[in-house]
A and B are shown apart, each in its own frame.
Chain A
């Protein structure tokens, strides 16, 4: 598509079933070509052997999402991870079949950009990190992924959840540039991580600030509530802690966070530490430095983090 008057493009395209109702930019030929060129791949090349979509399909979504060429490799990595690992990132075993009994729930792949990616691209990771306010930044990566799912992954579009959550429009978060949790996983080098998870659940830890054991109890109670204490298969879990919370945990020198959470769970409910220990937990630092907040999201049984 060349640069044309906007309304004629919109008139012909807006009612397309491959869009989700949210505004998009027109994808011009020039923009799509420049996005494809950034990857150094042929436009018609399949994204994966599974055959779901081409490089060009992903570039069209990026153009519509307002994703700049510099960030397209990150968005493309997320798409490739999702296409190659549908069970872990979508909660579905293939393009059409749901896995387990919870496939119709509110799961959607969240894209986590590592501290290195955040630093390299100088991305926003402060206040409102899950609703990144800067055009052409983290939100455009999440929007690219969502548009690709709507356009190219038939199982995603044809089997929508009962409720879903607002993250289906764009669900991405950039990790803090320098802070990280004292956790092994977050120190493994990666650019992008993806997993199927539910909507973010925000918890205020103000009444326990500076007391890691109390903070861990609140978080553990959240995980136990979200999973209803049912010992299902290992599942992906995202834990976003704001810088103040990270400081409190790290300053305590209390070891890996997951161990602390498992101990807290055992305090709350006997034998429930196994539930926490079975989580595929990715703790990251993001958000503003005011007060003591976390947000977490849990995936379906069988979901797991995949990394690039």
Chain B
């Protein structure tokens, strides 16, 4: 074993004799997401760590929903399982760092990985590698350019997925509520074409051209634009792309956010030959990718458009654009082929998944995935980062004593109510508004503070919620019918409980198990107090509503 393998001193190795033995153990440990992975051999992990100057223990960030720490060493284990060449490991580290970047942008919450891991949408994180780095690494940018194929593309995307799966604990049906999913969730990596007539994506996003960079963007599978492979006029091409961007049912059309536009090399050159640059395409597309209020009414009822704040837009702009501005349309050139090709990858609306770009250190020439040694030095068989996180829970007794210290005898209980969105339907989010009015009638025992946000995944409202909570004796949170919002609120509930603040969750039926899974993933082992409502409940104007109030009061009295 090379000396660099000693960097793995914190990881205990065991040596299954065969791949089958290892595979069975990995499967039992839930390391597998449906597709095969390689065993993480010590020697290969050491090679990966040698490809970076970073120490194995260096922390890249905390990966939701498990809130487990992603160290360089833990990511290297995932990279070994994905078959990542060592030279591509810095790309993976940059991708993980971009994904965990909590910087918000002007239109929303930035990448918002916690939402991406939990949302009901089909978006998957795409790793976009700048052209120089792609060339150095031998990435595929000529054909099947969005399919994440090849000995470098596939492992980069696959590693990111395994980080989300094994470190973050984002697992479908448990904590990941993606309703239909997307094969891109298995791993998705794309290389920009080095011969693009325009500057690389990262330059248009403000980084110097001399740098290499990685951009993360969460999106749906590519929606190919029907161009019939003909080189058409720029305006006709943009019009066809615009039709795809503002397609009814797209989350962009509902909710703004960002979208990725992919052009093959021929088409990009045709645009450039006509004097069109990236910003020209984005500007024109922004103007064309929009619908009139009448067209919106063809597809959506008024309630939904009001929820997404679209009437305000339409009154100001007369039409409803798919995104907030031209800067929210990212244009990438990749793929060759004989004719013209374009695709649209719709983003996750205003909730997140927005492009995050980070610089790369200089990229080395790739080495083989494995050396020629026939000797197997051992598989990392117990490096599941989740396991190290499970024991971090507070003791129940400590929390109880904090609670008692907060209570003020003879004074109405100060209760903070939070509705996760202003939807007046039967889900818990909508029910909270109704609940607020009814709990206010109980003023002798309850002093209600009401807080509502349409987009609670944004940092500012959540921080406001936490500030308000410090002034209260208990919190009631509404959860349901939205994986990403529910995740944030469930984690808030865990944090409130851990800090000794009693918390009751009003949960839409079907989400109670999900909430339990999230709490366990966040290392909270006690049961959260929940009141479950039916998603098909009417607007709660009957005796049924009184039962709900009673249930809430009962839950509050019991804490």
Contacts and interface: CB of A to CB of B under 8 A. Distances in A.
Contact of A127 (B38, B158, B173, B341): B173
B341 A207 contact: no
A169 B147 contact: yes
Residue in B43, B124, B183, B229 whose Cβ sees the most chain A Cβ within 10 Å: B183
B179 A290 contact: yes
Contacts of B442: none
A203 B250 contact: yes
Interface string B118-162: 001110100000000000000000011111111111110010000
Contact of A166 (B32, B182, B343): B182
A208 B299 contact: yes
Given A200-B180, A221-B249, A295-B180, A106 B343 contact: yes
Interface in B339-379: 339, 341, 343, 368-374, 376
Given A14-B370, A132-B34, A207 B301 contact: yes
Nearest to A164: B147
A59 B305 CA distance: 52
Contacts of B305: 207
Contacts of A226: 223-224, 226
A78 interface: no
Interface in A77-114: 101-102, 104-106
Contact of B122 (A8, A105, A134, A200): A200
B99 interface: no
A256 interface: no
Contacts of B477: none
A137 interface: yes
Given A128-B173, A166-B183, A221-B247, A214 B151 contact: no
Interface of B: 18-20, 22-23, 27, 32-39, 41, 43, 81-83, 120-122, 124, 143-155, 158, 171-173, 176-188, 220-229, 240, 243-244, 247-251, 254, 262, 264, 298-301, 303-305, 334-339, 341, 343, 368-374, 376, 481-483, 510-511
Given A23-B158, A104-B338, A221 B299 contact: yes
6 pairs of A and B residues whose beta carbons are closest in the complex: A203-B249, A207-B304, A164-B147, A228-B226, A128-B172, A21-B154
B149 A268 contact: no
Q: Which of B223, B229, B240 counts the most chain A CB atoms within 10 A?
A: B223
Nearest to B227: A228
Given A5-B374, A164-B149, A204-B249, A170 B338 contact: no
Interface residues of A, number: 93
Interface in A109-147: 124, 126-140, 142-143
A217 interface: yes
Given A21-B155, A127-B179, A202-B182, A7 B299 contact: no
A11 B341 CA distance: 37
Contacts of A130: 122, 180-183
Contacts of B152: 21
Contacts of B225: 228
A219 B482 CA distance: 22
Given A131-B182, A134-B34, A169-B154, 11 more contacts: A3-B20, A10-B369, A11-B374, A102-B228, A127-B176, A129-B180, A163-B343, A170-B34, A199-B183, A287-B181, A290-B481
Contacts of A219: 249
Nearest to A291: B120
Interface stretch (A24-32, A41-49, A177-185, A187-195): A24-32
Contacts of A66: 23, 35-36
18 contacts: A3-B18, A6-B376, A21-B149, A22-B158, A102-B229, A104-B229, A130-B181, A131-B184, A139-B34, A161-B144, A169-B154, A200-B122, A201-B221, A208-B299, A219-B249, A240-B180, A291-B482, A293-B120
B19 A25 contact: yes
